[in-house]
Each structure stands twice: as C-alpha cells, then as structure tokens.
C-alpha cells in the first residue's frame, strides 16, 4: 500500500506561530536571558532547521561574553540541550492543554488513509516527544498509533537535507513512487524532492511567501466539507475540487 509522510510543525497544526515561538520566549524569560523573538525574528530563525539549532544561533561572541556563558563548543552544546529540554516541556504542556488545534483536513484524510490501509508517517526536525504529543492531540491516540515517527536528532543532517526522508523510506520499505509528502516550508520541500519524493505544500503562517516551485501542488490547507481549500498552484494532473481526498493522492502518485 502507498504511504503519506507528513511534516509536523505547520502541517498537522500551525505550531510555529502559536506554539514554538511562545515556548521559546517563555524559556528565555525563565532562564533570565535578555532576548525575546518577535514574529519577524522568528520568521528568520525558521530558516534554521531544528529547535536546538535555532537556540544555538543566539550564541554569538558578544552574547556569550555579556552573559559569561561557556565558550567551549562541547559545553555550549550541553547548555543548549538543557535549554531545549525546558522549552520542550513548556511546549508539550501547551499541546496537552489543546491550545494547538489541527489544521483543516488532517483528521479527515488520516481516517481515510487508515481505512484504506495506507501507511502513515511523520518526518520532522522537532523533538520526537513533541511530535508525538502534537500528533496524538490532533488525530487522537488510536489513530496516532498507526503512524511511524521519524523526528529530532535521528539523522545527522536536518532539512533541507534529504536524510530524514531517505530514512523514512528505508524503514517503511517503500520506493519514491509509493509515497507522498505533505510539507509547509521550502526547507521541507527541498528535503522531500532531494529524496526523490513528490511533495504537496499546505502553506502555514510563516511560509506564505516562500518559493514552492518544486511542489506538485500548493494549497492553503487540505480543505474540509463546507470549508474549501484555496489552490495556489497545481502542477499535477489531478482535477482538484474543494478538498483533497485519498483518490487525489492516488492520482498524484501517477503524475
């Protein structure tokens, strides 16, 4: 059976703007760090894949000297890891309190795919525990148990490198012609296409102005009955309607 591989942040839920940014800033406050990212700041940080890597970007020489932080790379790595654990705890508390609703069409499509026997996976640069929390919150415990999860530091090179998608294909025992990816960012899109996979984009808060020219289609979301999706680009041979269905995914695999 074919597979759908979802990104997490921005695809399952609009977590970057309403989750991760808030969690990062709360972490900085709790640690007493003189930094708060604005939405514009965070849009730039999102070009860096991975939460630890985004945190590490603040450790410029001036900032390190100002706060008397360690200059040794190993000590800095440990410091960032500890900071990120705090951030993850804050973020997961937000998720479990249902503050991050799923994006349109996700629950509907997942149910269709499970009923049809399709394989499902999530491939994300976020921490695995965060991904599992978001997934379960969006689709429920029973349906989330049907997913394979590939997340966090499971690969050495994060998106836009193809590593995580190549790993997913290997574990799923699938060829590139048997799986479709849903992403929301250019980094994710490049990772998918570099792995030889077809990619559908559902734009999120921070990715609306990114170049998505390699995607087979670019949509506002997956759409719902009574809440149609917007179609920005359609480079497939699929005749799209108001929401994306599993039959559309099947047709995409033949594109």
Which residues participate in catalysis according to the annotation?
7, 9
Q: Which residues contact 39 (CB under 8 A, 6 or more apart)?
A: 17, 21
How many C-beta atoms surround the C-beta of residue 60 within 10 A? 9
**101 upstream amide cis, omega within 30 of 0:** no
Give the span between the Cα atoms of 126 and 101, in whole angstroms. 18
Q: How far apart are the first and last CA of the chain?
A: 17
Q: Which residues contact 90 (CB under 8 A, 6 or more apart)?
A: 23, 26, 27, 30
Give the span between the Cα atoms of 200 and 218, in whole angstroms. 6
Q: Alpha carbon 28 to chain centroid distance?
A: 23
Q: Pull the structure tokens for residue 176.
A: 């590139």
């Amino acid at each position: 059976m074919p597979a759908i591989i979802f990104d997490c942040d921005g695809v399952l839920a609009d977590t970057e703007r309403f989750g991760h940014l808030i969690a990062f800033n709360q972490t900085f406050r709790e640690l007493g760090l003189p930094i708060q990212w604005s939405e514009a700041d965070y849009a730039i940080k999102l070009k860096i894949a991975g939460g630890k890597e985004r945190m590490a970007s603040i450790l410029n020489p001036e900032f390190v000297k100002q706060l008397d932080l360690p200059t040794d790379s190993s000590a800095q790595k440990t410091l960032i890891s500890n900071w990120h654990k705090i951030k993850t705890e804050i973020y997961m508390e937000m998720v479990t309190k249902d503050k991050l609703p799923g994006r349109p069409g996700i629950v509907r499509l997942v149910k269709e795919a499970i009923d049809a026997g399709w394989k499902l996976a999530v491939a994300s640069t976020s921490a695995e525990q965060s991904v599992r929390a978001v997934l379960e919150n969006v689709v429920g415990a029973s349906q989330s148990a049907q997913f394979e999860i590939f997340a966090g530091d499971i690969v050495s090179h994060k998106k836009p490198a193809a590593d995580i998608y190549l790993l997913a294909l290997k574990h799923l025992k699938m060829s590139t012609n048997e799986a479709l990816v849903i992403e929301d960012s250019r980094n994710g899109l490049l990772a998918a296409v570099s792995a030889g996979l077809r990619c559908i984009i559902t734009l999120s808060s921070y990715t609306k102005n990114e170049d998505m020219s390699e995607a087979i289609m670019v949509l506002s979301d997956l759409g719902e009955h009574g809440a149609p999706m917007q179609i920005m680009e359609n480079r497939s041979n699929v005749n799209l309607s108001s929401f994306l269905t599993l039959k559309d995914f099947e047709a995409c695999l033949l594109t």
